[in-house]
Amino acid sequence: MRKAQGVSQEELAHRCHVDRSYMSSIERGAQNPGVMTVISVAKALGVSVAQLATVADL
């Protein structure tokens, strides 16, 4: 979703108030984000948590 919207990883991390390396780890599946981070990512992308979970095949 991030790439489809033309948002850089750094920009998304900034919008979510997390470190870019943490965002990278989340995208690679190396980190499991907490509920609040998931909500923050969804909000930053302008989608619902349900939409985000669907795209992530969760």
Q: Within a 10 A sphere around the Cβ of 29, how many other Cβ atoms?
A: 8
Question: How much is the pLDDT for 6?
Answer: 97
CATH of the domain at 31: 1.10.260.40
Domain containing residue 36: 9-55
Residue 29, in any domain of the structure: yes
Total domains in the fold of the chain: 1
Residue 3, in any domain of the structure: no
The pLDDT profile of the chain, 58 residues, written as one tens digit per residue, is 999 999 999 999 999 999 999 999 999 999 999 999 999 999 999 999 999 999 988 8
Q: At what angle do helices 20-28 and 9-16 cross, to 10 degrees?
A: 110
Question: How much is the pLDDT for 17?
Answer: 97
Question: How much is the pLDDT for 57?
Answer: 86
44 touches 1 (CB < 8 A): no
Question: How much is the pLDDT for 56?
Answer: 87
Residue 1, in any domain of the structure: no
Residue 32, in any domain of the structure: yes
